[in-house]
Amino acid sequence: MRELTEQEIVRRDKVEEIRNICNPYPERYEVTHSLKEASNLPDETNNVSVAGRIVFMRKMGKMSFIKIRDIESDLQISIKIDLVGEEKYSFFKTYFDVGDFIGATGEIFTTHTGEKTLRASNFEFLGKALKPLPEKFHGLTDVELCYRNRYVDMIMNEDTRKRFLIRMNFIKELRKFLDDKGYYEVETPILNNKASGAVAKPFKSHHNALDMDVYLRIAPETYMKRSIIAGIPKVYEIARCFRNEGMDATHLQDFTMIEAYQAYFNFEDNMNFIREMLQTIIMNMFGTLNIQMGDKVVDLSGTWPKVSFRDLIMKYSNIDINEYNTKEKLLKKIKEDKVELDSETPIENLGYGNLVDYLYKKVARPYMIEPVYLVEHPTSLSPLARTNDDNKEISDRFQLVINGAEIVNGYSELVDPIEQENRLLEQAKLKAGGDEEAMEMDYDYIGAMEYGMPPISGWGMGIDRMIQLLTNSDNIRDVVMYPLMRPINDNEKQINE
């Protein structure tokens, strides 16, 4: 058993003493207003009941001030002996600590310093914190501890609370926009027989009851398309997805994305749709489309230009993918030019499409700051996308890139089951040859396609990465409430005062 600090021992003793007076962990408290609502009430509003965690206390002889907090707001409360009574005031001074929960009822007024305050006529003890919060002037500043103990990070750091409010409000606005456009939200499986839906390396597990191997969802795509087959013309899902690949400042192995599909749309329709969607959501949230990203202000207004894979790579290197149009030619040129691709899979094992993708990510993507749609992807890089009618070497696909980050990926969907089967067979060959990011054959999905599909366009957006951009966060883990961390011994790191 770990050794308790002196403060932890004192707080545990207080709990036992409180039990002789009241329940230190009561079942409920009647709240009339949130802290944010209460802080906006006019003076002399009475019978206001609020509750929250105490984050500041100034105990004095006959009147004390505390500040309570939730994710939205702080609120000051004054506690006077002549309003609550001598016995209750003594209870407050003796047993309440910073970190404890309190409920209070009273009247709203504004102090001479201009701070909205609740003048408490009554209060209740609502929960004892057995650990002290970090020292008030410094808070929680160790980045790793912030990730491991996000609950404390959110209590102590206003910037963290703002980031997660932005995340939650973005998802709320996203749902509202799609719902208002007639989309239905569906749920698709996280455990799958096949690692399908995207070109990525999967997580593998074992299903004991069925005695079979399963894969964690890479993307919900093939099940979303099954929903279109089932007769739902507009569908979306906010999905937790898993890709067993590298981790850096903009990538996590488990992440949240949204995918949406609309029958009778093509990829150009969706480019217009996504621009309208993001501009609407961001304007509703921030009141502006000029967003600080890194050391730049990025303008998200107006129309967003399109640029081809070929033109973009040629702009930042001397490689023309129309000339180097096979794996062998492109691989040789990459080595000749001494371009170091950031691939966990040996580049000799990558297919042509993945080689092109890694090349673009290395030489061009970091320089794409203003919003731009990347188009004309190699067909082999897009095994689920529709082939362009005029050029069979490219697909009707787009990626939205902002500030060097891929935000949205979408395309006109491949709805021809015969072509889809041939494409997945090619992917299976690449996988057998060592390309771990290639897709597997999925005959169940092919069978669903054979019942017939209308024209479809779909897209996916990494919500974590979008929030990282909108909050100007250095690391994607800053916007994930509980990121996965290596376990440590409980005694290695403690949060002390």
Amino acid (1-letter code) at residue 56: F
Q: Encode pLDDT of 101-153 as tens digits.
A: 999 999 999 999 999 999 999 999 999 999 999 875 456 678 888 999 999 99
**203 shares its domain with 62:** no
Q: Is 337 a domain residue?
A: no
Query: Of the residues 127, 146, 177, which one is the last residue of a structural domain?
Result: 127
**104 shares its domain with 197:** no
Q: Is 143 a domain residue?
A: no
**111 shares its domain with 213:** no
Domain span at 442: 158-304+370-479
CATH of residue 70's domain is 2.40.50.140
CATH of residue 436's domain is 3.30.930.10
Q: Is 139 a domain residue?
A: no
**64 shares its domain with 103:** yes
Residue-level pLDDT, tens digit, the chain, 497 residues:
678 999 999 999 999 999 999 999 999 999 999 999 999 999 999 999 999 999 999 999 999 999 999 999 999 999 999 999 999 999 999 999 999 999 999 999 999 999 999 999 999 999 999 999 987 545 667 888 899 999 999 999 999 999 999 999 999 999 999 999 999 999 999 999 888 777 788 999 999 999 999 999 999 999 999 999 999 999 999 999 999 988 888 889 999 999 999 999 999 999 999 999 999 999 999 999 999 998 899 999 999 999 998 999 999 998 998 898 888 998 999 998 888 888 878 888 888 888 888 898 899 988 899 999 999 988 877 777 899 999 988 899 999 999 988 999 999 999 999 999 998 898 888 888 887 777 788 899 999 999 999 999 999 999 999 999 999 999 999 999 999 998 886 554 544 44
Amino acid (1-letter code) at residue 150: R
Q: Is 434 a domain residue?
A: yes
**114 shares its domain with 186:** no
Q: Is 215 a domain residue?
A: yes
Q: Is 348 a domain residue?
A: no
**297 shares its domain with 250:** yes
Q: Is 317 a domain residue?
A: no
The residue behind tokens 């107006």 is 302
Q: Is 355 a domain residue?
A: no
**387 shares its domain with 436:** yes
Give the total number of structural domains in the chain: 2
**253 shares its domain with 162:** yes
Q: Encode pLDDT of 173-232 as tens digits.
A: 999 999 999 999 999 999 998 887 777 889 999 999 999 999 999 999 999 999 999 999
**123 shares its domain with 166:** no
**73 shares its domain with 176:** no
**89 shares its domain with 193:** no
**21 shares its domain with 94:** yes
